[in-house]
Amino acid sequence: MADHALTGILSAVGNTPLVELERVPAGFDGRLFAKLERFNPGGSIKDRPAISMLMGEIRSGRLIPGRSVVVESSSGNLAVGLAQVCRYHDIRFICVVDAKTTEQNLAILRALHAEVEVVTEPDADGEYLSVRLRRVRELVRSIPHAYWPNQYANEMNPRAHFSTMNEIVEALDGRLDYLFTATSTTGTLLGCKRYVREHGLATKVVAVDAVGSVLFEPGPPTGPPVRRLIPGHGASVRSALFEPDTADEVVHVTDLECVVGCRRLSLREALLAGGSSGATLAAFERLRPRIAPGSLCVLIFPDGGDRYLHTIYSDSWVQEHFGEVSHLWKTPDSTAAAGHGKG
Ligand SMILES: Cc1ncc(COP(=O)(O)O)c(C=O)c1O
């Protein structure tokens, strides 16, 4: 990140590697790169908004070490990023999570001295987000000096990704034809797209959403939400940050396509990627027939596979949810065969 005033572990956030993928896009007449955000010290891209949402508050004196309390709803990556900033600056952090949060994420949060509150009752649609947000509001009302960064409405969330995009564009000497970004709060998507507009770039920004997510559906959600197994991208509630015309294209990806994308990356590139990273590879494959020869494409990989060892990388979990599907990543050029959702 361009913030040279950051010290200690926080100074290690950003400047993540951009690596070329030469095997998974076999036969592609162009170049494909992955921006590996797992190399942030908290293990994900969400270290960036955690810093941008809190550091301004700390520097301005609105958040006071030893006195203020940060409260946020997150089921994983942002929570780890916030826990990191809060511990470093001696600020109490209460994280509201839900029953779907993995044991591993809970253990990481506790190891970083976050206080974890688990919401166990979903709302009428079986979703937890609205219940978590209600609990956050209660906590902020009742705890003195409490501050809610609210990643769903905080402009410093998208702002954080100017640096993400700047690092990519500089590494490619200013040329980038396609950017594929998984989306949930839409912070990454918005920040990258605003960068593209402000710098007059010709980059097409592709939003990668989950089948069953409400983000890019026109109007209010219809019907019961589709049960999604893989966290990270997609949303059951549209964030206040959402701007309808941000993405040049939207691709909806199924859980199975995520699994296949991840397994292809581990098998062919020796790259252990998180679920939404696999989704970006599936989206690239979907658009590939329409991408002009010679194009430079980047997939943002928000986190790593080590947080998905008991799901995406567990043969028994995959078998339980999708049946015998290993042929889908063992044969070349197989992402497209994993079954399309919408998009
Ligand atoms: C693994 C993963 N992928 C994708 C996203 C979506 O990013 P954004 O919230 O910036 O839309 C997140 C957000 O937490 C995430 O954790």
In order, the DSSP letters of 226-246 are: PP--S-SS--SS--TT--TT-
| CATH class name, domain 9-39+158-337 | alpha beta
- Give the residue-averaged pLDDT of 19-41: 96
**Residue 238 CB less than 6 A away from ligand 1:** no
Q: Which of 276, 280, 300, 312 to mutate to test the pocket of ligand 1 (most atoms within 8 A of CB)?
A: 276
**Residue 42 CB less than 6 A away from ligand 1:** no
Residue 313 has pLDDT above 90, yes or no: yes
**pLDDT computed for residue 236 by the predictor:** 81
User: From atom 13 of ligand 1, which residue's Cα is the shortest distance away?
Assistant: 232
Q: Which of 28-32, 139-143, 192-196, 330-334 has the lowest mean pLDDT?
A: 330-334
d(C-alpha 71, C-alpha 287), whole Å: 39
Q: What CATH number should be reported for the domain whose range is 47-147?
A: 3.40.50.1100
Residue 145 has pLDDT above 90, yes or no: yes
**Residue 74 CB less than 6 A away from ligand 1:** no
**Residue 276 CB less than 6 A away from ligand 1:** yes
d(C-alpha 33, C-alpha 83), whole Å: 30
Q: Using the mean position of ligand 1's atoms as its centre, give its distance from the Cα of residue 147 in Å.
A: 22
**pLDDT computed for residue 342 by the predictor:** 37
User: From atom 9 of ligand 1, which residue's Cα is the shortest distance away?
Assistant: 185
d(C-alpha 9, C-alpha 7), whole Å: 6
**pLDDT computed for residue 343 by the predictor:** 35
| Res. 219 pLDDT band, cuts 50 70 90 | low
**pLDDT computed for residue 307 by the predictor:** 92
Query: Closest Cα partner for 337 from 263, 226, 233?
Result: 263
Q: Which atom of ligand 1 is nearest to the CA of 182?
A: 4
- Give the residue-averaged pLDDT of 226-235: 86
Q: Which of 16, 77, 306 to mutate to test the pocket of ligand 1 (most atoms within 8 A of CB)?
A: 77
Q: Using the mean position of ligand 1's atoms as its centre, give its distance from the Cα of residue 332 in Å.
A: 28
The single residue listed with the structure tokens 């999604």 is 228
Q: Where are the beta strands (DSSP E) in the chain?
A: 18-20, 30-36, 69-73, 92-98, 115-119, 146-147, 178-182, 204-210, 249-253, 295-301
pLDDT in tens, 42-58: 999 999 999 999 999 99
Query: Closest Cα partner for 133 from 61, 224, 52, 235?
Result: 235
**pLDDT computed for residue 247 by the predictor:** 97
User: From atom 15 of ligand 1, which residue's Cα is the shortest distance away?
Assistant: 232
The model's pTM: 0.94
Q: Could you state, in order of their start, the residue ranges of all structural domains in the chain?
A: 9-39+158-337, 47-147
Q: Using the mean position of ligand 1's atoms as its centre, give its distance from the Cα of residue 327 in Å.
A: 29
d(C-alpha 236, C-alpha 215), whole Å: 8
Residue 227 has pLDDT above 60, yes or no: yes
**Residue 233 CB less than 6 A away from ligand 1:** yes
Residue 1 has pLDDT above 80, yes or no: no
Task: Supply the mean pLDDT for the chain.
Answer: 92
| Rg, C-alpha atoms of the chain | 19
Same fold, 9-39+158-337 and 47-147: yes
Express as a percent the part of the chain with pLDDT over 90. 79
Q: Which atom of ligand 1 is nearest to the CA of 158?
A: 10
Q: For residue 115, how many other CB atoms are within 10 A of its CB?
A: 14
Residue 216 has pLDDT above 70, yes or no: yes
Q: Using the mean position of ligand 1's atoms as its centre, give its distance from the Cα of residue 97 in Å.
A: 15
d(C-alpha 262, C-alpha 19), whole Å: 16
Is the CB of residue 228 less than 8 Å from the CB of residue 275?
no
Q: Which atom of ligand 1 is nearest to the CA of 74?
A: 14
226 against 280, higher pLDDT? 280
Express as a percent the part of the chain with pLDDT over 70. 93
**pLDDT computed for residue 332 by the predictor:** 63
